[in-house]
Structure 1
Amino acid sequence: MCQRKLGLDMMNSVSTQDRSFDNGGLGNIRSWMQRNVDDRKLAGCSMLMAHKSDEVFFHAAGQRSREKALPYTRDTATRIYSMTKPITSAALMMLVERGLVHLEAPVSRFIPAFETMQALIPGAEHIDQTEPAPSPTLHQLMTHTSGLSYPFNPGILARAMDAQDLIFGPRQGRLADMVDQVAKLPLAFQPGSRWEYSVATDVLGRVVEIISGKPLDVFFSDAIFEPLGMTETSFSVPMQARDRFASLYTPLAGDAMALNEAKTGGESLRLVDEAETSPFLKTEMHSGGGGLISTIDDYMNFTEMLRQGGTFNAQRLLSTRIVDFMMQNHLPGDIASMGPQSFAEQPMEGMGFGLGGAIVLDPARVGTPGSVGDFSWGGMASTFFWVDREKDLSVVFFTQLSPSSSYPLRAEMKALVHGAMVG
C-alpha cells in the first residue's frame, strides 16, 4: 500500500508503508463499494482516506452516468449538498476570528426581516397559532436550535415552507430574497429550546455576505477555496469539470427530496438530475446550506484543514483554538435530548453538535465504531466526511444517491474503516 502526501505535492508517490492499516481490511472497503454498485444501490462512488496527512486509500467503483456508461473517477464532480454547511460555518468563524461579529449577536442585527419574530405555540395545529419570540442568535443558527426548519421535515412550519418551495434550490433566485421570505414565517419553536435540522446555514451564508461585503461565492473563493487549492469547488459546475459531472439518482418512486411522502418501489436507480441538463450547470442561488459542487480531492483539502487545526499546505484559515471550539459539543447534551422532530444527516443518540457538524459523544450510544470527538457531516446525495483527530484520520466518501437515508452507508463505512485499522 503506497502513500502520497496530500496537498501541493500530492502527485508525488511516497514509498513508505502505513502500518496502521491492514491491506485485507482495505480490500473489504473496495469489496463493499463494488457490492453496492453490483446490487444497484449506488450508480458509482469513491472514497479517499488520509492518515497523518498521507493518502492511505483511494478507490472508485461504478459509473457517474449509467445512461452513458461513464465511469465514476477520482475527478468526478458531485453535488455535495449539506456538506456545504461546514464550509459556510468555517467562513463565519473566520469573521468571528477577525472580530467582525460575535456568535451571540441576533441575526436581526444583519437581516432586519428577522427583527419581529413569532414562534408556534406548543401543540399548535395551525401556522397562525403563534406567540412572540426573540430573533435567533448566530450561535443558534449554527447549532440548528434557532426554530427554523426544512420543507422535507415533519411539522406545521415545514409544510408551510414546502408550500412556498423555500428550499434554496439552484435556480430559485437571489439568496437575500429567499432569506427574507423565510423570515416572514413563524419559528417552529422558541429559539434554543429544541434541535431541528434547518435552512439556518443558508441564513448564515447571507450574514457572511453582509459582514464581508462580498457575494458568498466570491468570499468562499477568496478566503477558502483559493488558499486550499480547491479549484473545482463552486456553486455552479466549473466549466472544466462539466464533462466529469455526475448524474443524480434515487431509489424513490416520487420526489427524491420529499421525505414526508417518500414512495418506494420500482427502479432502485431512477435518474432525477441528468448531468447534461442539471440546474447546477448555471446556478442563481448561492446556498450556504447545500449549494456547492466539488471533487473528492478538493473536499479532502478542506477536511484536512479542519483536522490540522485550521492549517493546510502552510495556509492558515483559522486558529487552532477556533477549530477546537467548533469541534466541541455546543448542545446541553446529545441531539436526541433536545426533542428533534426532523430529518438529520447523522444519528441523534450519543451525538452532539458543534459549529457546522456533528460530534461523537459516545460511540456505543451512536451504535457505530468511532472515536469520541469525531467531527462529521453529510449531504442529501449520500456524500459524507469525518475527521478523527484522535487517530489523525480524514475520510471523504462521494456518491450521488438521494436521499441519504436510503441505506445505512455511513455506519457501514465507519465500521469498515475501523476494521481496517490495526494501529
Structure 2
Amino acid sequence: MSKAERLGFSKARLERIDRFLQDKYVGPGRMPHAQFLLARGGEIVHQSVLGMQDPERSVPLAENSVYRIYSMTKPVTSVALMTLVEEGLIALDDPVSRHIPEWKDLAVFSAGTGPYLTTPPARPMQVVDLLRHTSGLTYGFQNRTNIDAAYRKLKLENMHGEHDLEAMIQMLAKLPLEFSPGEAWNYSVSTDVVGYLVQKIAGKPLDQVFQERIFDPLKMVDTGFRVRDDQKSRFAACYDAAPGGKMKLQDDPQTSPYLAPPALLSGGGGLVGTAADYMRFANMLLNRGELDGARILAPKTVDLMASNHLPGGADLTEMSRSLFSESTNAGVGFGLGFAVVFDPPQTLIPCSLGEFYWGGAASTAFWVDPMEDVTAVFMTQLLPSSTYPIRRELRTLVYSALMETNG
C-alpha cells in the first residue's frame, strides 16, 4: 500500500495535481513556479515542486525556496494577539482606543477629499473588529473611495518606505473610517493595527514577539520580515501578471527590498517564508494550538478563531464592501484572522464544514480542514492573486483524490 493510500488518498488522482499545475500554469509561462504541500494528520501525503525559482537566471525551484507570503502573515499576527488574550492582557471586546488613545475620536467619512465631513460611529471600534475586518479601516490598493486615495497618498501600506508602525497609527488617527465598526466587512490594514497592539502590549518589537511566541516553538526556521544572507540563494522571483497570460518581473530576488529589514513590520503582509514552515503553522492550527509538544494556543482559543464572527452569522457576500477577495465568498464567513466555511454547498466546490483558510497577494494560499484532518499550502509568486482561480482548482483536485472521508 502506498503512503497516499494509507492516508486515504488515491495516488493516481493526486498525481493529477502536478500535471494540472505544469500543463495549465508553469509550462505555458503563466506562473514562474508552483509548490504545493498536502498533509493528512500532519503527515505529508503529496508535494509538487515545479518551475523556476528565478526564471531570469534559470534557478530551479526547490523544496526550501523562500517566498513573500503577503497576507498569509495575517493569521500569524492574529495568533500572536490571541496568545496575549489568553494571558488576560487584552480582550476581544476591548475598545481599541483603550490601547490606542489617539483613536478615541475616530469618526466616519461622509464626504470630501480633506478636510472631510464626518459623523460619529454608531459604536466604538473593538479589538474583534480588527481581527475580522469590520473595523471601518481600508486598503489604499482598493482604488474605490476617497479614503482609499488618502491611504495611497500617505503610502500607508509601504513596508519598505520611511514610516514604522507607530507612524502608521498616528497617520490613521487623522483619517476617518469608511463605515461605522461592525457595519460591514472591508479588507484592510486592520491586521497591521493588530500587529501594533501585539508589540505595544508585549513591550517588544513585533518580529521579536513572533520569534519568541511562534517561530522558535514551532521550529519555523525560515520565516521572518526579511530575507537573511543565508537565504538569498533560495529567494524566489516575484512577477506581475501581464496581458495574454504572460508575466513581467515585479521584484528581482537579487535586488529586492526584502533583503534588508523593513521600516514597517507589517503584521498584515510583511513576512517571507517557506512552504514547510507554513505547513508547521497550519498543522499547529489543525491540532488546535499544539505541534510536536509546543503549545501555542489552547484548543478552545483556536476553536474561537475558527468560528464565523461576522455580525448576525452573515457570510462575506452579505457583509463585504471590498473589491478585493481571496475567493468567492458564498457560504463563507470570517473568523479571527481567516475565512471560515459554514455552508459548504454554497461555495460550489468540495470542502468541509469548519474549514478555514486564507491567501496572499502573490497567489499563495493555505487551508486547514479539521473534519478531514487535512492541511494544504500552495506557494508561487504571481501578482495579483485574482489572476487565476488556482485556489478553487486545488481544492477540487485534492478532494477529488480523497477516498476515505470523515464527513
TM-score range normalised by the length of the shorter chain: over 0.9
Tell me the alpha carbon deviations over residues 113-167 of structure 1, each in whole angstroms, 9 at most, x when there is no partner: 211111113xx46451211225411100101000000011122211211122111
Whole-angstrom distance in 2 between the partners of 1:165 and 1:145: 22
Matched, 1:342 2:323: yes
Distance 1:2 1:224, change over 3 A: farther
Cα distance, 1:390 vs. partner?
A: 0.2
Matched, 1:287 2:266: yes
Whole-angstrom distance in 1 between the partners of 2:36 and 2:392: 14
Residue correspondence of structure 1 range 263-342 to structure 2 within 5 A: 265=243, 268-282=246-260, 283-331=262-310, 332=312, 333-342=314-323
Whole-angstrom distance in 2 between the partners of 1:267 and 1:240: 34
Residue correspondence of structure 1 range 319-398 to structure 2 within 5 A: 319-331=298-310, 332=312, 333-398=314-379
1:223 to 198, 213, 220: 213
Matched, 1:69 2:47: no
Cα distance, 1:170 vs. partner?
A: 3.0
Structure 1 runs, 4 residues or longer, greater than 4 Å off? none
Structure 1 residue aligned with 2:39? 50
Q: Is the 8 A contact 1:82 1:289 kept in 2?
A: yes
Cα distance, 1:284 vs. partner?
A: 2.1
SS of the residue 1:184 aligns to: coil
Cα distance, 1:2 vs. partner?
A: 5.8
Cα distance, 1:266 vs. partner?
A: 6.0
Residue correspondence of structure 1 range 14-413 to structure 2 within 5 A: 17-35=5-23, 36-121=25-110, 124=111, 126=113, 128-133=116-121, 134-153=123-142, 154-252=144-242, 265=243, 268-282=246-260, 283-331=262-310, 332=312, 333-413=314-394
Matched, 1:417 2:398: yes
Q: Is the 8 A contact 2:5 2:11 kept in 1?
A: no
Whole-angstrom distance in 2 between the partners of 1:18 and 1:171: 50
TM-score, length-normalised on structure 1? 0.91
SS of the residue 1:146 aligns to: coil
Q: Is the 8 A contact 2:327 2:392 kept in 1?
A: no
- Where do 5+ consecutive residues of structure 1 fail to align? 4-15, 253-264
Cα distance, 1:19 vs. partner?
A: 4.6
Q: Is the 8 A contact 2:352 2:371 kept in 1?
A: yes
Structure 2 residue aligned with 1:258? none
Q: Is the 8 A contact 1:236 1:292 kept in 2?
A: yes
Whole-angstrom distance in 1 between the partners of 2:196 and 2:2: 43
Whole-angstrom distance in 2 between the partners of 1:370 and 1:172: 43
Tell me the alpha carbon deviations over residues 204-247 of structure 1, each in whole angstroms, 9 at most, x when there is no partner: 10000110001000000001000000011000012221110001
SS of the residue 1:207 aligns to: helix
Aligned partner letter, 1:186: P
Whole-angstrom distance in 1 between the partners of 2:245 and 2:153: 28
Cα distance, 1:277 vs. partner?
A: 0.7
- Give me the CA root mean square deviation: 1.5
Q: Tell me the percent identity.
A: 41
Distance 1:54 1:350, change over 3 A: same
- Where do 5+ consecutive residues of structure 2 fail to align? none
Cα distance, 1:108 vs. partner?
A: 1.4
Aligned partner letter, 1:369: P
Whole-angstrom distance in 2 between the partners of 1:53 and 1:330: 27
Q: Is the 8 A contact 1:147 1:196 kept in 2?
A: yes
Q: Is the 8 A contact 2:33 2:53 kept in 1?
A: yes
